[in-house]
Structure 1
Amino acid sequence: METVSRQVLFFISVLSLASVLGQVSFSIPEEMSKGSVVGNIARDLGLDVKRLKSGKARIFTSDGAEYIELSRERGVLLLKERIDRESLCRQTTPCALHLQIILENPMELFRITVEITDINDNSPSFKNDEKRFEISESAIIGSKFVLERAVDADIGINGLKNYTLKPTDNFVLKIEGQADGNKKVEMILHRPLDREKEEQISLLLTAVDGGDPQMSGTVKIYVTVLDANDNAPVFTQSVYKAAITENSHKGTTLTSVSASDADKGPNGEVSYSVSTTMDSVSDIFTISENGEVILVGEVDFEKAKYYQIDIEAQDNGGLSDSSKIIVDVIDINDNKPVISILSKSDSIPEDSPHGTVIVMFSVFDPDSSNNGQVNCRINGNIPFTIITSSNDFYSLVTDGDLDRERASEYNITVTCSDEGVPSLSSSVTLTLQISDVNDNEPVFERSSYEAYIVENNTPGVSVFTVRATDADWNQNARVSYILEDSSVNGVPVSSYVSISADSGVIHAVRSFDYEQIKDFHFRVKAQDGGSPPLSSNVTVKMMIQDQNDNPPQVLYPVQTGGSVVAEMVPRSADVGYLVTKVVAVDVDSGQNAWLSYKLQKATDRALFEVGSQNGEIRTIRQVSDKDAVKQGLSVIVEDNGQPSRSATVIVNVAVADSFPEVLSEFSDFPHDKEYNDNLTFYLVLALAVVSFLFITCLVVIISVKIYRWRQSRILYHSNLPVIPYYPPRYSDTLGTTGTLQHVYNYEVCRTTDSRKSDCKFDRASSQNVLIMDPSCSGTMQRMQSEKRILDEPDSPLEVSLIKQNMIVSICYGAY
């Protein structure tokens, strides 16, 4: 014992120090002969045979040392003894041996597992070789006798599989599986015994396994038939009848039976039993000791409309009599109708005709009579109905027009009810999709559209979006937009606008000018993607909105290139004297054309003012002798646009009572730009003609002096009233507009050579106008305003004013 303990400690220390380098598993069947090769350990562990020798390889194991040995010369494991799996492991699976191979220098450890597999080397066996029974010849059919079970040491498929019993003249074998996996073996009497015919019966019970080849074990059974008493019990009726309502409670008594036995004593005592071979009947009914038939199970009319119970009366001697009970089951309405769908359509087109079959189904109610009569209906007001083709078979068909746009899906609930009391019903809900048909044309959101775009737009800008919807679905509802062919002012509308086929966005192809075109119409067609396609049209009116892109145009006073126009104001003018009126127009519209006037600059701001709405220039104080003759006014005309545009006009005013005074002051007015630009030319020309100009100017000055003197005398003695002059056809209602309401023609006629000739003006532009033309070399002339012939004179006052207009043209030389 001491030596063994030391060896164990030594190996434990080896295991703790050595490293486990590998593990190999082998599998061998049991009952292999001694010296058989278990496995090539050197090859499987990757070791050289020399290493096994040098390392003094040896096996260490706590079990199986007597079965396995190591051959270091061959590098294999060999069987030392034959292995019996059943004695080694019994019923344990898997059955394995665990070994360790130890090497030294260096120390290494390898684990080896050897699994022992089962072979069919054991046959089933019984504990006893024979079994004896003593059975009365009056034993009832179905009597059970428990037999001994066989035992097989093998496992799995090689284990015990089945039993057989021969002969089967009087007895049959019954095998019943149990929870622990074993089988209960019983011998059942299926034919009556008769001692007078056969007093001893010999039977052979055989147990077989599932191996190959198959093995078996047997036991002999001896039956001794005992004699019985002479009188058997007798039932009072050969057939008993009873009735019970289905679903009755357990413990309900159906009826009572009775049997009598002429024997006395123990042989005359009768017991009752259910002798039927149908297990279901014995599970449902039982008979008490006094003959009462009692319900112990459940009765279902749908499973069995009646039951036949075979009963037996037996005395203590084994004699018996049989009878039967016919039990009628009374139906109650305890089953709902069962709806079975035979065929159905998940989707139908919306243009399906009336009577299209949607679903075919059957209805079954296992109850009887009225309890099994079924009526089906549809819940809800939907265009479907149910028709009956034959008993228990129904069809769900269309019964109205379908419109996917009103209802794209129907949840159809079919309810079937029986006629029982109370009635039971079942329902099934069917989902039906209505597939689309292209039966709806696109509909625009409006009957017509008005689109607005500001002039001077960028070409390609999106202006407006038309939108049409189609009540159909998918491709049938996919709307495309098309610009219909038309023309605007003889030009195709496609050169004005374009439309996106998918989105309906209208784009401007060109830049619009409100002053050229204010609006135009075109038509857009919306077409769906159905086959054939459906379409609708809508009219779009494109309105061009004005933009303040034009400055005001000053119509009066006219700004001449080389002449200086001056309005004459007498020094006797009172406060509010109308000097002149600035007349301007703006080709824009709306507030972009609302004009306002403002005095920007003035020689004397305290003397004049400008009406902000009408453009009238009036005096705001009394003219005095101290006021300068030459007054320059800069009037700015602004429109009401955002941002506003403006124009500036220079108004020259002469504050004088006589023309010579005006001439002396206005001779200093600067010449026009063209004249200054050509100053060099004039200087060169002046060198050549200086003599001629000197003489000419001398003559002109003398002539002018004489002419001015004569004119002043005439004006002084005329005493003409000072009446303000309005341009022809001008009407300033309430003095608020400040714009012209008619077209005005201003005509200035000059001689073919303005450098040599006098200036001539056919029509007056103001009551007192001084025109200083430096290019003229003629003498000053006083001209009376000519009488105008008006197509439609506005008023007598206007005619009288026109008659009094005067134009004075003062022409003087270049120097």
Structure 2
Amino acid sequence: VWIVDLTMRNQVSLRRPSALWRPCFGLRLKLDLLIFFLYIVNIVDCQLRYSIPEEMKKGSHIGNVGQDLGLDLQRLRKGRARILTGETPQYVELKTDKGILVVNERIDREQLCGDITPCSFSFEIILETPMELHRIIVEVLDVNDQSPVFPAKDINLEISEAAILGSKFSLINAEDSDVGINTLQNYVLTPSDHFILKQQTNTDGSRYAGMILQKTLDREQNEHMSLKLVAVDGGTPQRSGTVNIHITVLDNNDNAPVFNQSVYTATVIENASLGTRVVTLNATDADSVSNGIITYGFAQVKENIANTFVIDEKTGVLSVSGNIDFEKDKKFEVRVEARDQGGLTDTSKVIIEVFDINDNAPVINIMSFSNPVSEDSPQGTTIAIINVKDSDSERNGHLTCTIDAKLPFEILSSLTDYFSLVSDSSFDREISPEYNITITATDSGSPRQSSFLTLRLTLSDVNDNAPEFAQQSYDAIVAENNSPGLSIFTLSAKDSDWNQNARISYFLEDTRVGGTSISTYVSINSETGVLYSVRSFDYEQIKDFQFRVKAQDGGSPPLSSNVSVKILIQDQNDNAPQVLYPVKTGGSLVAEMVPRSADVGYLVTKVVAVDVDSGQNAWLSYKLQKATDRALFEVGLQNGEIRTIRQVTDKDAVKQRLTVIVEDNGQPSRSATVIVNVAVADSFPEVLSEFTDFTHDKEYNDNLTFYLVLALAVVSFLFITCLVVIISVKIYRWRQSRILYHSSLPVIPYYPPRYSDTLGTGTLQHVYNYEVCRTTDSRKSDCKVGNAGSQNVLIMDPSSTGTMQRMQIEKSILDEPDSPLEVSSTRWGCTCMFLFSLLDLFSTVPLKMRADSKLTEN
């Protein structure tokens, strides 16, 4: 309110100059610029600081951010307030429904900061619509949760009994990860008859202890001694650590080594190569021989120092043995020790400072990115908030952020290490639907280090383009007699917009064709734009019609455009020629009369025909298809006139029948035929009698053809029936013979066919059976002619040699009383018997051969 009031007053003073306000003019100008800057960037820079102890439980309350920032809960929810943490662990959580910060996970101060004090971490809270950015710093207070710890459980010392009183012996120091009062505060040595404990403080506040000899040692009385060194911190409750000191008493080393400097200082560059010399230690000992030999080493060394540096124990050269990272350790402090052979030592301090080099490239993190962005977004719209960090220090960590100058965007700096990507011109999605924005972050080191990050920004569409047809009008041709539902033509319109705004629907505008709505003629698919016929078109009724189609997109509000469509009906050869003359009558015959005295070229009659089709489909031609006398008449190809082509003679028949075919020129062509009856006569009674006989003859020929076909069908049926009966009987007899042949009886039967005697009267009253038995010896073969109705069977007797007994079987097993082949006295029976006997003769030849083979084997 004060700023606004001051601004208003100065505006008044500008209208009325006064000496009273002139000293405030500069202040007013700065305040105006500040207000203008905050209005353009629309980001509030506010910083809060909280202090919490370490090791708090998850969900513990830290502070009320909403109240401290002056933001109500509705603003936090609508602004989608959230925490930007980058790559650091998210130790805290923002409860937007309550506007408070709570602990999200366990915080260990020693793990977070180590020896650095005070210990804190920071994060940013971002709100959108409008965009705000606030920085929160949380300081983590130490609690006494760590006890002092010695790096070893035992300390082994070798001390000469000649050690003078007041000799100093260094001890290892305890480490306490806590800070402040909770860290190591005091050492206690027990028992302390021969030694007293002397404590000192380093420049960094850490304490270390040493023993001073206060009573002469006597190796003969006590060669070994055991002490305990207790390290105690200052916390509540108090914590401590203990190490055992084992002392071995040696003889006659009464001079301790002495360093030439109490403090050594050195520098080393980051990422120095292995083996790089840092500093050379130098100590002297007044003793001689073995007691004057000095070895160098670390008196107390941390793990990170032991992995980074090494001391040559003979030369005292301290060199690099591991990787040095300025971002991790900016300075090293280490205590070194010089020890002689008698166990006397002296210590010194080495301070090593690390020089930073530009070995880290900037790291780009996207804190917020609005994608997609509407193409009608105003100039100055914030697209993204970017955080850029560089682990290097001073100039090596000074960053600049740039993008391609051709793009319609610019980078603005907001808070430290934060940049805003905003638009500096309007967008058009139809020209550039998306942008690939490459952000380049560069530090100021030598050589410079750069990082790149590409953002793909998509523009969301606005319905600002109407559908467009490729042509102003379209013509389509449809053949008549089409089937309803036929696809006629496909209309296609294009819309430069995208998605729903480019989804085009097609509609027929209400138009009337011949007093009827256009929807009764054609329809259109609203999705594909395909025109379909609703009815079958007839060229003879309608030859063309025209209508308009509207294309409308799916935007809000929708945009549309129109196009004119003209449908042309194409004629098809769908009508055959119609003969107008001569006229066809129901039953009477109409004949044209030609006198026998007619000359060549006499006009008999003229065939008149029409075709309702158009074009070449209606071009007619006339041809004479059949004629009683083709040499007498001809038909004009184009006019259909029937004329004589020779002189009529007395030999020409009175009745002349002409068949004329009329064809159109379509593809395929259609035709019609007409029969012209011509009478060659000089008088009407002669014509009447001739045409009456002609009618009766035709009826007679038709009846004769019917009876001939019927007779042929009856004869064919009888022939096929007889053939089936004969084949069935033959198959039956063959199966009976096969059954007997495969039987297991010792009898070998043979049944010859029955023959008829044709030497006498042509018929035979009895049937004779012939039985034949063949052996390998022709003299023993037998043949017998039996009486009618009996059969002779030859049976071989195994008990007699070379003889056969003959048995007469009164009735054959094949002869059945109901057999159709019994002897009959009728001529039909004899004839059938003769035919079947002939067939049986040819079929029994294989059977007879098999019987001979069996007999030979027996």
Q: Identify the structure with the greater helix proportion.
A: 2
Greater relative contact order (Cα < 8 A, sep 6+): 1
